[in-house]
Structure 1
Amino acid sequence: MTTSAVRLDPYNYDFHEDPYPYYQRLRDEAPLYRNDELGFWALSRHADVLKGFRNSTTLSNKFGVSLDPASRGPHASKTMSFLAMDDPDHLRLRTLVSKGFTPRRIRELEPRVTEIANQHLDSMLEAAASGATVDYVDEFAGKLPMDVISELMGVPNADRAQVRAWADAVMHREDGVTDVPDSAIEASLNLIVYYQEMVKQRRTALTDDLTSALLEAEIDGDRLTDDEIIGFMFLMVIAGNETTTKLLANAAFWGHRNPDQLGPVFDDHERIPLWVEETLRYDTSSQILARTVVGELELYDTVLPDGDVVLLLPGSAHRDERVFQNPDDFVIGREIGSKLMSFGSGAHFCLGAHLARMEARVALAELFKRIRGYEVDEDNAVRVHSSNVRGFAHLPISVKVS
């Protein structure tokens, strides 16, 4: 193990503002880093993070993927579904869920995603037309992903704002508090109770939504239990909602910061997927994921004992100059391919990757059809404070409407 004066604290607000100088020092000075106070190891180099994602035997998911003590432990799968399981349980549940959550269902959802995007754009751009600053997160990026998930699941329109508010509260962290606050626990319980009622209703009368499809999913007589369905629905809220909201806002922020890169996207909307991919690399929503050592693991001449927590840092891996040329430059269209780990890698590769990419592509394409340009009010932008995701709680922008 390398010793270093650098300190990694995933709860520190200064780290949230800009983690990349910390990551640079970790990669150079402490590729295997130890924090005794918070009780974790961390891997920051691209090769090590990739190996970590692909080693689902020795680096286990069964206690969850968050450092937060309240989210860790043998019951993590209740709210994180198969993300907090190892095979064979992981494979069974993922295979059953995949019967309902199909690529075809995602493709067929695209016209509705376009409609929902335009509904939110209508109100945002109406406010922006008068020259007023609008909050891109409040009005658009924070609404669309949760509404799309609600659309998928069959949450009625009238309930979507409340469901969105609970989902936001689940993720918020107070400065210096190294655990899940009471408000987030309360919001989690509210969501679970709401989804329990939804599942109960579908048991009585099936509809054509994902909730019903999950109830009907079956392989050789094996079906999902209500708890398993609710766990997956909760996972969608956490993994599918927050990360896409952050992706949309991060794309807008770094596009604004790099007008030379964004200019060609205004002229050629076919470049929007490339903008999305570079955002996923340059400033990924999912920065930190936890694993638990099973047996023991030797890294950098150090033996990591059974039960220790290892943090994988894809946010750092994507800035590794051993893999990417000039990694601190935002370059739309650079070669990324399979080097991207925003959606993980290996057995736990994100089931919702197609949905996230489709949502981001549609959202940004619809926005760019309707505006000629935008400016971010950086002084009033507010970052989200979370131990694992990175993005904005508020991103005020002024818009030139087409």
Structure 2
Amino acid sequence: MTTSEILLDPYDYDFHEDPYPYYQRLRDEAPLYHNPDLGFWALSRHRDVLTGFRNSTTLSNKFGVSLDPASRGPHASKTMSFLAMDDPAHLRLRTLVSKGFTPRRIRELEPRVTEIAVAHLDTLLEMAADGETVDYVDEFAGKLPMDVISELMGVPQADRAQVRAWADGVMHRDEGVTDVPPAAVEASLNLIVYYQNMVAERRAALTDDLTSALLEAEIDGDRLTDDEILGFMFLMVIAGNETTTKLLANAAFWGHRNPDQLTPVYDDPSRVPLWVEETLRYDTSSQILARTVVGELTLYDTVIPDGEVLLLLPGSAHRDERVFDDPDDYVIGREIGSKLMSFGSGAHFCLGAHLARMEARVALAELFTRIRGYEVDEANAVRVHSSNVRGFAHLPIHVKVR
């Protein structure tokens, strides 16, 4: 299938508005797609994407997982930590980090996540009580995840708004920009310097936060270096912050579009996790992940040479009618289970999956105990423009407070 017949351009604004018709054509007509102009191949069917995630030998992470030129290359692990590594380096670092980033630590964080969510909701609902439109992303979905990461790391309360602003700056791209702009580089440097100082402070005096736990993590005398700790902190900001913000806004948007699906959630908040799972399937934050071919790979009678970029499209895989019944319908409570790939699969399965699900569950449950309904002002909603992440930069809503 040639590029002229089907075009997949991850930088195209039309594609960002609605990628799903593009994916449908890829699955049907070009399950192995090649774009020689942008220099990548892509897999769109569920079975192929899943196999791709689980093949961490032929499909390497060592040049990073983004198509963006500045994010790709042997330096990727500096900001993407073990996500941009292969075994054995990946396994060593991930195992050490896991010593600090434990399920227990996440469980113990939940009461604080609830407090942070409630504080932001108080502000949002106070504004909404006057009948004004509030920006769900600015006031809630965009604040909570980064504040939770700061809570986890031990960033003092007074610094959190600044740290959040830097994190936003790292991710922002204007239209037509396919590479990392100077403002994002500056924001990255500010964050790194801030975290370097934090690590130095903890070296001098340990506390009970994740930063200290990472400094203490040790296996047979092997410890994390300061650079490795910084790389992981940066990964949390990029991978853990942005994707959860997008998940919260995507859930609100598709809930608004499918009110019949939300009615049971208002009556029974225990259904919130099902709402989260269907959102992860239907419109996942993480749409496109890059791998680099090692040696060569033969797929669909085609040899993909060594060093080529292969994109895995979980956003497409989740709409594959070969796997899901009526995949374009948003059905809260449908059977999804292990077919979900929003957090990847195999060796690189997302270490923060527990945290993201817990945050989304807490945030949406707290919201729903306090409102009777909401409407999204779709005309003024603004999508994020990113080559791999899907969601909203702004989502204005009208809220009916209980």
What TM-score, normalized by structure 1, do the two folds share? Answer: 0.99
Query: What corresponds to 1:344 in structure 2?
Result: 344
Query: What corresponds to 1:355 in structure 2?
Result: 355
Query: What corresponds to 1:386 in structure 2?
Result: 386
Query: What corresponds to 1:107 in structure 2?
Result: 107
Cα distance change, pair 350–186 in 1 and its aligned pair in 2 (3 A):
same
CA offsets 1:237-276 (integer angstroms, 9 cap, x no match): 0110000000000000000000010111000111100000
- Paired amino acid for 1:377: D
CA offsets 1:166-194 (integer angstroms, 9 cap, x no match): 11111122222221111111111111111
* 2:127 counterpart SS class: helix
Measure, in 1, the Cα distance between the counterparts of 2:182 and 2:26.
32
Measure, in 1, the Cα distance between the counterparts of 2:174 and 2:258.
31
Query: What corresponds to 1:143 in structure 2?
Result: 143
Is the contact between residue 3 and residue 35 of structure 2 (CA under 8 Å) also seen in structure 1? no
* 1:329 counterpart SS class: coil
Measure, in 2, the Cα distance between the counterparts of 1:249 and 1:293.
34
Gaps of 5+ in 2: none
- Paired amino acid for 1:366: E
Measure, in 1, the Cα distance between the counterparts of 2:169 and 2:286.
18
Say how many residue pairs are matched: 402
Query: What corresponds to 1:302 in structure 2?
Result: 302
Measure, in 1, the Cα distance between the counterparts of 2:307 and 2:3.
22
Following TM superposition, by how much is the alpha carbon of 1:2 offset from its aligned partner in structure 2, in angstroms?
7.2
CA offsets 1:145-179 (integer angstroms, 9 cap, x no match): 00000000000111111111111111122222221
Is the contact between residue 255 and residue 261 of structure 1 (CA under 8 Å) also seen in structure 2? yes
CA offsets 1:253-311 (integer angstroms, 9 cap, x no match): 00000001011100011110000000000000000000000000000111001100000
* 1:303 counterpart SS class: strand
Query: What corresponds to 1:8 in structure 2?
Result: 8
- Paired amino acid for 1:100: G
Q: Percent identity?
A: 89
Gaps of 5+ in 1: none
Measure, in 1, the Cα distance between the counterparts of 2:32 and 2:181.
30
Aligned-residue Cα RMSD (Å) equals 0.9
Query: Structure 1 stretches (4+) deviating beyond 6 angstroms?
Result: 1-4
Instruction: Please state if 1:233 is matched with 2:233.
Output: yes
- Paired amino acid for 2:345: S
Query: What corresponds to 1:48 in structure 2?
Result: 48
Is the contact between residue 2 and residue 31 of structure 1 (CA under 8 Å) also seen in structure 2? no
* 1:393 counterpart SS class: strand
* 2:41 counterpart SS class: strand
- Paired amino acid for 1:42: A
Measure, in 2, the Cα distance between the counterparts of 1:345 and 1:183.
33
- Paired amino acid for 1:212: S
Measure, in 1, the Cα distance between the counterparts of 2:296 and 2:347.
20
Following TM superposition, by how much is the alpha carbon of 1:344 offset from its aligned partner in structure 2, in angstroms?
0.0
Following TM superposition, by how much is the alpha carbon of 1:4 offset from its aligned partner in structure 2, in angstroms?
6.6
What TM-score, normalized by structure 2, do the two folds share? Answer: 0.99
- Paired amino acid for 2:86: D
